[in-house]
Amino acid sequence: MSNSLLEFEPISARHRAERESTGRSICVIDSDFRIVFANQCFWDLIDLPPAGFQFVDIEMVLASIREDDMRNQLTSILYKNSATKTASARFELANKKKRYSLSIDSLIGDGLVLTVEQASIDSVPQAAPVYFGVKDELTGLLTRAGFNSTSSQLMQRSTEEIAVLFIDLDHFKPVNDTLGHQFGDQVLKVVAQRLRKATREFDAVARLDGDEFAILQVGGIQPAAGKALAIRIGSSLSEPMLIDDQTIHIGCSIGIATFPFDGETIDDLLRNSDLALRAAKNVGRGTIHFFEPHLAERARLRRKVEPELRDAIEKEQFELHFQPLMNLETNKLVSFEALVRWMHPTMGRIPPDQFIPLAEETGLIVPLGEWVIRNACQIAAKWDHPFGVAVNLSTVQLSSRRLIPAVVQALKESGLPAERLELEITETALMSDSSAAIATLHQLRDYGIRIAMDDFGTGYSSINYLRKFPFNKIKIDRSFVTGIDQSEGSYALVKMITALGNTLGISTTAEGVETEGERESARSAGCTEMQGYLLSRPVPCSELNDLIGRLT
């Protein structure tokens, strides 16, 4: 199988010729004298096909060299110097009239690196940098350090395009946790074998950490070559594995960064392929994603914003804005949704889509969320009219043990009746730890607090979640509401949702109503309430009285 893979990626004739004349041949050998890694230059130098020679004893490889002169010279240099483990030598092939300089460097721990370059008569052989601990004990792949140094070497002299693939196993952690670390180790070995089989012999394959792997692919045209390799790896790793009579399924997600487009150094490429990997995981399991420059921008911004966010929570730099909801039948205001806004002293207004996800990822959403609930209750309790107040709850908050005490405390301190408080959750909040989340929701509901499902219709199985918990309200996502007066399809769908709501005793809110036409259609389709710019954008406390005055 390996041989046919060499034909997949188009390598131009020009590139091959360039490699031969200016390239540096590199061969990395472990302490058992087996070849751990060698680049195409090396195989061209000794005129042997790479297929079948990786992880083979260097002695056997040298013995297979057909050209007598080359074979004898290399063998003698290697064995003369393997004891001392560091050497440089020059040799000359009489018939080809070429001179070579060769250096052997030891690795701290184990192994050797052989570097061979064509030399001019006067050139002094350069010592290759020393490599540290190049091979991963468990899998036999390169370690992170080995990968970095091997890659740097290749990139220094390379005029070719290079892809770095950052691979993360999708379902490894549950397997490791339930079946034990020894079993997990077996899985990693199988993964390593499959990765080696999917790559060409002169691609560098490494195990970076835990269940993360990296591959350096040289000499293909990007992004096609990287994509082709990623697809091969993806399908290989999703084939079931039989280990100790257990069949398990592991998939992978892959991020790809290329040289020269996405970075100049191996560090840049690894970092950017990691960012691409995270983007891949956001899309879904088992996907492949190429690095795009905006990912780096976003990461930079995050690094800047995160410490500010911690600070802001302590210093209470946030403000609540309120957006009204109106009953479509009575045309009366019923409640307000509280939305958090962040006014940074120097960076200005930071939009929620830039700090809420960050807050969720860092867990800072818990103290932030508590601040929101506390303040929303306090503000609402002071209103002249008994309007309801709705607050968004994230998955992270739902699984925090602090949630219920915080909510109870907020109601008590503010004096707000529980029935006026509504908590909005999306279906993703229910997806992952569903039974614990549902138990929490029941507890909240038992206090009299209302629970609404937000963005209804946008998830995988919104209707299914209606079965799992007795929601008080469904908020129909704006994507159904926009243009509902122009689209029979949207109208029919909303009508179906409201009919469902009616049957189950659940009220329905049309979100994102922006025109009179949409309001009218939402009303006739059976929606209980509406929310949107037609009524009002979210406003700060200071403008609430005016707003209420205008709308009542």
Q: Which of 290, 322, 355, 471 binds another protein (CB under 8 A)?
A: 290
Minimum CB distance to another protein smaller for 18 or for 543: 18
Minimum CB distance to another protein smaller for 230 or for 513: 230
Q: Which of 6, 145, 224, 544 binds another protein (CB under 8 A)?
A: 224
Minimum CB distance to another protein smaller for 229 or for 359: 229
Which is nearest to 391 in space by CA: 399, 379, 405? 379
Rounded to whole angstroms, how far apart are CA atoms 357 and 351? 11
Rounded to whole angstroms, how far apart are CA atoms 415 and 380? 10
User: Which DSSP state fits 458?
Assistant: S
| CA separation, residue 219 to residues 42, 91, 445 (Å) | 14, 28, 61
Which helix (H) or strand (E) segment is 248 a member of? strand 246-248
The CA dihedral of 462, 465, 467, 469, to the nearest 10 degrees, is: -140
**Smallest gap, in angstroms, from Cβ of residue 224 to another protein?**
5
Minimum CB distance to another protein smaller for 224 or for 243: 224
Interior/surface letters 420-439, b for 16+ CB within 10 angstroms, e for the rest: bbbbbbbbebbeeeeeebee
* Cα torsion angle, 411, 414, 417, 421, sign: negative
Kindly state the number of chain residues that form the binding site for another protein, as judged by CB under 8 A.
20
Minimum CB distance to another protein smaller for 10 or for 210: 10
Rounded to whole angstroms, how far apart are CA atoms 494 and 153? 61
**Smallest gap, in angstroms, from Cβ of residue 47 to another protein?**
24
Residues 269-288 that bind another protein (CB under 8 A): 283, 287-288
Minimum CB distance to another protein smaller for 487 or for 524: 487
Rounded to whole angstroms, how far apart are CA atoms 440 and 438? 5
Sheet holding 87-93, edge to edge: 35-38, 25-29, 112-118, 98-106, 87-93
**Is the separation of the CB atoms in 34 and 57 below 8 Å?**
yes
Minimum CB distance to another protein smaller for 135 or for 271: 271
227 binds another protein (CB under 8 A): yes
**Smallest gap, in angstroms, from Cβ of residue 432 to another protein?**
23
Stretch that binds another protein, among 125-133, 205-213, 226-234, 429-437 (CB under 8 A): 226-234
DSSP-assigned states of every residue in 254-267: EEEEEETTS-SSHH
Minimum CB distance to another protein smaller for 12 or for 486: 12
52 exposure class (CB count in 10 Å sphere: 0-12, 13-18, 19+): exposed
Q: Which of 291, 336, 456, 480 binds another protein (CB under 8 A)?
A: 291
Stretch that binds another protein, among 34-42, 85-93, 128-136, 227-235 (CB under 8 A): 227-235
Stretch that binds another protein, among 224-232, 303-311, 318-326, 437-445 (CB under 8 A): 224-232
**Smallest gap, in angstroms, from Cβ of residue 43 to another protein?**
22
Q: Which of 33, 55, 261, 469 binds another protein (CB under 8 A)?
A: 261
Q: Which of 222, 375, 394, 508 binds another protein (CB under 8 A)?
A: 222
**Smallest gap, in angstroms, from Cβ of residue 460 to another protein?**
16
Token pair, residue 310, equals 């911690």
Minimum CB distance to another protein smaller for 5 or for 221: 221
Which is nearest to 468 in space by CA: 497, 507, 494, 442? 442
Residues 1-20 that bind another protein (CB under 8 A): 10, 12-14
545 exposure class (CB count in 10 Å sphere: 0-12, 13-18, 19+): exposed
289 binds another protein (CB under 8 A): yes
Stretch that binds another protein, among 222-230, 439-447, 460-468, 499-507 (CB under 8 A): 222-230
Q: Which of 109, 125, 133, 223 binds another protein (CB under 8 A)?
A: 223
Minimum CB distance to another protein smaller for 231 or for 343: 231
150 binds another protein (CB under 8 A): no
Q: Which of 67, 110, 185, 292 binds another protein (CB under 8 A)?
A: 292
**Smallest gap, in angstroms, from Cβ of residue 106 to another protein?**
39
Interior/surface letters 337-369, b for 16+ CB within 10 angstroms, e for the rest: bbbbbbeeeeeeebeeeebbebbbeeebbbbbb
Secondary structure (3-state) at 348? strand
**Is the separation of the CB atoms in 215 and 204 below 8 Å?**
yes
**Smallest gap, in angstroms, from Cβ of residue 14 to another protein?**
5
Which is nearest to 100 in space by CA: 42, 55, 58, 50? 42
Stretch that binds another protein, among 114-122, 289-297, 315-323, 385-393 (CB under 8 A): 289-297
166 binds another protein (CB under 8 A): no
Minimum CB distance to another protein smaller for 293 or for 470: 293
How many CA atoms within 13 Å lie on the side-chain side of 504? 20
Residues in contact with another protein by CB under 8 A are: 10, 12-14, 221-224, 227-228, 231, 258, 261, 283, 287-292
